[in-house]
Amino acid sequence: MSDGAGKEIERLIDLMARLPGLGPRSARRAVLAMIQKRSLMLEPLAQALTDVSATARECVECGNIGTSDICAICADPRRDPGLLCVVEDVSDLWAMERTGVFAGRYHVLGGVLSALDGTGPEDLRLPRLVALAGSVDVREVILALGTTVDGQTTAHYIAEALAGCSVAVSSLAQGVPVGGELDYLDDGTISAALRARRVMG
């Protein structure tokens, strides 16, 4: 199916359409908008992509994606090495960072255990986690995994694997999301929030 644009443009649309959240139609709109704002969008984007393509890499410490071998978080001496937050993926790490409330360090697992997907413990970045948890530096391991069955299975697996270490293992609280209305919440969340209720005042 041809758009009547050139080969290079069709290829760009084709590539953009493979990105998550974009389809053929929105990719076409995005590419057209880029071209129509050449100096504002197309040229800076081409440069930014080339820059990222040249510099992006995985942090050898935590698994975060950044532009140096040791990411900005691992290299920051102000971050508390005593707090280690375990996340499934880089996107979860970035989501935690955006809140700006966590001042410790991270460990990216690279997935969660999943019988369905055939993801076993050997597929996750567990050895470094166990080594870190056994070191004197780390006081607490915070499991910030999803509240899916797989996420919770993984959290329990890690908690057991770290049972021999002298670290506290915690997990994020489950409950009513901020701004959430009970009426729209699923039963599981309401039950969890009720079980974890807190005495006020």
Q: Which residues bind a copy of itself (CB under 8 A)?
A: 1-9, 11-12, 15-16, 18-22, 26, 28-36, 38, 41-46, 48-53, 55-56, 64-68, 71-73, 90-91, 93-94, 97-98, 100
Min dist. Cβ of residue 199 to a copy of itself (A): 34
Q: How far apart are CA 106 and CA 87, in angstroms?
A: 7
Give min distance, CB of 109 to a copy of itself, in A: 14
- Please tell me the distance from the alpha carbon of residue 24 to that of residue 48, in angstroms, as a whole number: 23
DSSP for 120-163, written as a single string: -GGGS--HHHHHHHHSSS--EEEE---SSHHHHHHHHHHHHHTT
Q: Which is nearer to a copy of itself, 98 or 198 (CB)?
A: 98
Total Cβ atoms within 10 A of residue 163: 9
Instruction: CB nearer to a copy of itself: give 64 or 193.
Output: 64
CA–chain centroid gap for 191, Å, is: 27
Q: Smallest distance, Å, CB 62 to a copy of itself?
A: 10
**Minimum CB distance to a copy of itself smaller for 64 or for 154:** 64
- For the CB of residue 126, give the shortest distance to a copy of itself in the complex, in Å: 20
Q: Residue 10 or 161: which CB sits closer to a copy of itself?
A: 10
Number of Cβ atoms within 10 Å of the Cβ of 196: 10
